[in-house]
Amino acid sequence: MMADEPLDVVGIGNAIVDVLAHADDDFLTRHRLTKGAMTLIDAERAEQLYSVMGPGVECSGGSAGNTMAGIASLGGRGAYIGKVRDDQLGQVFRHDIRAAGVAFDTPPASSGPPTARCLILITPDAQRTMNTYLGACVDLGPEDIDPMVIGGAQVTYLEGYLWDPPRAKEAFRKAAALAHAAGRKVALSLSDPFCVDRHRREFRDLVKSHVDILFANEAEILSLYQVDDIDHAVAAVRTECELTALTRSGKGSLVVQAATVEPVAAEPIARVLDTTGAGDLYASGFLYGYTRRLPAAQCGRLGSIAAAEVISHFGARPATPLKDLLARTPGNARAASGAPM
């Protein structure tokens, strides 16, 4: 697809190749890894950790990249902005996101650190523990934000992880300003509770003043407001943000607006194999529904369906065309056909 066609969503994020390997809990303990979290690591630590990991499988990842692949898999029109290096892993990332049907035209860095990678350890309980070497992501800057792309997309979707590399937040702010100037919506994922810890003050300001649609899991929203129960977090966020989707793993999600809090069930699946990408794909389903003007709870339901697919196999992007999955789900014929309500 061409980036100058009208878009449903443009995603901006850290462009990362995932390296997935199985590990047991002892391995996490021995190498001082925080289970379930995303930890930033430098080149040296990445090399050291890789050298002790088991055989890996490489596949394209990155939170917003996964979300955009999911939106395309649902039949939505999407573009992605993120920075790779002109190396083999950068070619892999570029190939995969384009092959998924997402426009991707950010020029690769021709010098500096290599394409980012995330060393992901999957424990027998299907939890993923992520260790990210940001590599070329540190080169993403406001010059990579194309006003035509942002202005042409119904929603600009940003991952909180963008706050980690030094110049990406400028890209993030530029994109949000351009989206609002064009009468578009801005969505943010809080990404990770430790990421919220690192950037809480700025994230609070973003949510209050620049974000229309917020995605967070329980740990992230509790960390954002420094409260210890979900009701307090819901009470806070509904006064600040137009629309919030709070994901709760097996308990489903809560879709929060000023006047309503709607619980959405998780989609039942036979066996959870790898939770990598669950939140990213929830956002795919939700935003696909949102850009088709479906009611908020129905957006949450599409999120549940997309998330269920990705956790039932190894890897963070859909293995089945989500469009076909929707068509087979009772009550979703309208969403699958892509007709706005």
Q: Which of 30, 35, 42, 99 binds a second copy (CB under 8 A)?
A: 99
Q: Decide: is 54 part of the binding site for a second copy (CB under 8 A).
A: yes
Q: Decide: is 60 part of the binding site for a second copy (CB under 8 A).
A: yes
Buried b / exposed e along 249-271 (16+ C-beta atoms within 10 A): eeebbbbbeeeeeeebebbeeee
CB atoms within 10 A of CB 32: 7
* Amino acid identity, position 102: V
Cα distances (angstroms) measured from residue 286 to each of 119, 129, 187, 198, 261: 27, 25, 11, 26, 16
Q: Decide: is 88 part of the binding site for a second copy (CB under 8 A).
A: yes
Q: Decide: is 202 part of the binding site for a second copy (CB under 8 A).
A: no
Choices 94-102, 132-140, 233-241, 293-301; region in contact with a second copy by CB under 8 A: 94-102
Cα distances (angstroms) measured from residue 49 to each of 33, 46, 56, 118, 119: 10, 5, 12, 11, 8
How far is the C-alpha of 260 from the C-alpha of 158, rounded, in Å?
25
Q: Decide: is 306 part of the binding site for a second copy (CB under 8 A).
A: no
Residue 88 Cβ, how far from a second copy at the closest point, in Å?
4
User: What x-and-dash track marks residues 262-281 binding a second copy by CB under 8 A?
Assistant: --------------------
Q: Which of 2, 6, 32, 51 binds a second copy (CB under 8 A)?
A: 51
Q: Which is nearer to a second copy, 23 or 246 (CB)?
A: 23
Q: Which is nearer to a second copy, 60 or 304 (CB)?
A: 60
Cα distances (angstroms) measured from residue 103 to each of 151, 158, 172: 15, 16, 18
How far is the C-alpha of 27 from the C-alpha of 34, rounded, in Å?
11
Q: Which residue is listed with tokens 């042409």?
A: 152
How far is the C-alpha of 191 from the C-alpha of 140, rounded, in Å?
18
Choices 48-56, 158-166, 188-196, 277-285; region in contact with a second copy by CB under 8 A: 48-56
Q: Decide: is 56 part of the binding site for a second copy (CB under 8 A).
A: yes
Q: Decide: is 114 part of the binding site for a second copy (CB under 8 A).
A: yes
Q: Decide: is 14 part of the binding site for a second copy (CB under 8 A).
A: no
Q: Decide: is 95 part of the binding site for a second copy (CB under 8 A).
A: yes
Residue 42 Cβ, how far from a second copy at the closest point, in Å?
17
By CB under 8 A, name the binding residues for a second copy.
21-22, 50-51, 53-60, 69, 87-89, 92, 95-97, 99-100, 114, 314-315, 317, 319
